[in-house]
Amino acid sequence: DEFSKAYVVAHEVGHHVQNLLGYNAQERKLQAREGKNASVRLELQADYLAGVWANAGNNKDFTIDSGDVELAIKTAQAIGDDRIQKKAQGWVSPEGFTHGSSQARVHWFTDGLKTGDASKRKLDLFFDADLGKLDPLLR
């Protein structure tokens, strides 16, 4: 439970990092083309950055075990737009996504955890790629 809370905090810190790096401005430019879905880019990138944080924190002084990762994944799954919409309205409407699907949120968190890659090239991917490549439910 503690690690799932840490994942959420790291995700929110990721939003601050995005603002400092100028990704918020890029998202606003994409809103004309993608509508509300443009914010999915920022949310998935923040999930990725939370994974990068977890990767960096996994060292001799602090070890992340599989149970920790499992809790973070359960949290990411629970807060995906598809799960929230299904529970609230009984159906999934991808055009209304603002945070990304459960599948995509888990994917990007675990990718950040696995790679630890916080390079500009990797972070730019979230704004250079087709949105459907970031979240398959948005194809």
Mean pLDDT by 10 residues, the chain (139 residues): 91 97 95 93 98 88 85 94 96 95 97 97 96 95
Query: Among 83, 96, 78, which residue's Cα sits nearest to residue 7?
Result: 78
Residue 88: per-residue pLDDT: 97
Instruction: Give the separation between CA 36 and CA 55, rounded to whole angstroms.
Output: 30
How much is the pTM?
Answer: 0.94
Tokens of 123: 């972070």
Contact between 82 and 137 (Cβ < 8 Å)? yes
Phi, psi of 102 (to 5 degrees): -55, -45
Residue 65: per-residue pLDDT: 85
